[in-house]
Chains A and B, each alone.
Chain A
Amino acid sequence: MLELVLFYIFAAMAVVSAILVITSKNVVHSAAFLGGTLFAVAGIFLTLHAEFLAGVQVIVYVGGILVLFVFVIMLISVERAEHERQYHRQWMIALITSAILIVEIAYGLYKGRDSFVLPPAVIPPAVPAAGNSELVGTALYTTYLLPFEIASILLLVAVVGAVVLAKKKTPAEE
């Protein structure tokens, strides 16, 4: 029962702030509401017994990506964008297409919802012997070691690329 209440609280928070992200005029408000969504999703992760991921979500998303967004918003002017038209002329078509998309997904999920009910879990769903972080860490450094290293190279390339994109040109280059 408590699980259900928590799920609905977090889900409502996530969806409402997500809607506010895409409807607010001021980009700073959008960023703040994005933070709300990210925190709510971290709560959802907690109800799914993914404590490590909830921590990562808060530290990396809210503490890293969102702060990056806010810094960039700080660097570029917000006032001008606020007075411009916020939506494309094609917004009606976009809304209709998105409505079709959600109806389609919801219908498919609703039709196939019985297939998600698997036979009672092999391991009892209570807390496993090892902690969640330990399980994730073991999997990350054994089975998924190669993808993990590739992910770190991807991050390195992205950081170098971002620096090159954003830096001022030196006189020699011009």
Chain B
Amino acid sequence: MVTTFHYLMLSAALFTIGVIGVLTRRNIMVILMSIELMMNAVNINLIAFGDRLQQVSGQVFAIFVITVAAAEAAVGLGIVIAMFKNKETMNINEIDLMKW
């Protein structure tokens, strides 16, 4: 029997992997992908509780999360391209235009 606990544990694992990716990698593309992983973990949580409570709200909120993820990816990748045109790098240690 698959319980909500199982889904929450899976979601926690995916979220932590995303956090590790953001904190340790230096490639900006991988960091953006890790953020997508974390959003997926949140979606699993929302839908698991929606299924448990027999309500459709969880799924509606998951749709909103997917919308925000799409917007975030579009803007994030736009920034990456703009950055790459200025400084030919994907390494976040070299992207320090706003640091002083």
Partner of B33, one of A31, A44, A110: A31
CA distance A68 to B70 in the complex (A): 10
Interface of chain B residues 1 through 28 with chain A (CB within 8 A): 1-10, 12-21, 23-27
- The main secondary structure of chain A at its interface with chain B is helix
Q: How large is the interface on A (under 10, 10 to 19, 20 to 34, 35 or more residues)?
A: 35 or more
Q: Are B81 and A166 in contact (CB under 8 A)?
A: yes
Contacts of A49 in B (CB 8 A): 51
Contacts of B34 in A (CB 8 A): 21-22
Contacts of A110 in B (CB 8 A): 5
* Least CB separation from B21: chain A residue: A22
> What is the minimal beta-carbon distance from B81 to any residue of chain A, in angstroms?
5
Contacts of B47 in A (CB 8 A): 45, 48, 50, 53
Number of B residues, CB within 8 Å of A: 71
> What is the minimal beta-carbon distance from B58 to any residue of chain A, in angstroms?
8
Q: Are B7 and A76 in contact (CB under 8 A)?
A: no
A171 at interface (Cβ–Cβ under 8 A)?
no
Known: A53-B59, A113-B3. A165 touches B75 (CB 8 A): yes
Contacts of A143 in B (CB 8 A): 57, 60
Q: Are A113 and B75 in contact (CB under 8 A)?
A: no
